[in-house]
Amino acid sequence: MRLNGRHTAGASQLPALRVWAICLLLLSAVAMSPATAKAAPSQTAAQTTHVYLLRGVLNIFSLGLDTIGARLQAQGIPVTVANFVSWSSLADEAATAYKAGRIKTIVLVGHSSGATALPDMIAKLNQLGVPVKLAIGLDSVFKTKLSTGAERYINIYIGDGPGEPVRAANGLRGKLDNVDVRGSGVGHITIDKNEAIQRRVIAEIDAAIARSRGPAGPVAEPGAPRAAHSAAATAPARN
């Protein structure tokens, strides 16, 4: 009878055990599944955005920007990938498209010397009365001062490498974030190709586009004196 009693008690516990096992399996599946990706920007917001990606010297060390550009295009976001020496003519093109209503949101991304050129491009756009929603520099190679603002400027640099933090000029409006990624395993030549860095850049761009209905970043009055060229325009480029 005792044996039967034990068997009966064990049998009665089987349904409960099955429930616990199913719960554990479900929890494990949730824990191992990747996080849900943020929704891509709306089609209209994406189509009225333009992202300018500035490569460094010689166009051979910043090919990770091409990958970022391809991923953005897959979301329906127009991009231009060019060498950093084109920053002035690209600013003219962006200003023309903005004033014609073809572009509503301007985003700039640069690597190495391309990152160093970003403050100059922002200054020219601001002089032309055009706001910059977001600028992201990847390991700018010269000491750079941000004298006029994008709504947000993110400088991702390697503190124990050739990269430099960006300094804010007095009276700068807009948000400046210097992000030191030393110890993360990325180098100056690989930072633009690193998967985690690329995901962050794209996520920041998506978030900026989602905010594009908000107030635009600070813009200098048209005709205001242009900020002095940074070292990117006068010193030999490094990549």
Residue 191 Cα distances to 45, 79, 110, 174, angstroms: 28, 20, 11, 25
User: Is residue 216 classed as helix, strand or coil in its secondary structure?
Assistant: coil
- pLDDT mean over 211-231: 45
- pLDDT mean over 72-84: 97
Task: Return the closest-CA partner of residue 102 out of 126, 83, 121, 78.
Answer: 78
pLDDT reported for residue 155? 95
Helix axis angle, 118-127 relative to 87-99, nearest 10°?
A: 40
Does residue 42 surpass a pLDDT of 70?
yes
- pLDDT mean over 193-213: 94
Q: How far apart are CA 120 and CA 101, in angstroms?
A: 23
C-alpha angle 77-82-85 in degrees, rounded to nearest 5: 140
Q: How far apart are CA 181 and CA 139, in angstroms?
A: 10
Could you tell me where the DSSP H helices lie in 33-146?
43-47, 64-74, 87-99, 113-116, 118-127
- pLDDT mean over 176-188: 94
pLDDT reported for residue 170? 81
pLDDT reported for residue 58? 81
Does residue 158 surpass a pLDDT of 80?
yes
- pLDDT mean over 186-193: 96
Mean pLDDT of the chain: 79
Chosen CATH of 43-234 out of 3.30.10.20, 3.30.70.360, 3.40.50.1820, 3.30.2230.10: 3.40.50.1820
Does residue 238 surpass a pLDDT of 50?
no
Does residue 35 surpass a pLDDT of 70?
no
Cβ proximity of 148 and 108 under 8 Å: no
Q: How far apart are CA 137 and CA 108, in angstroms?
A: 8
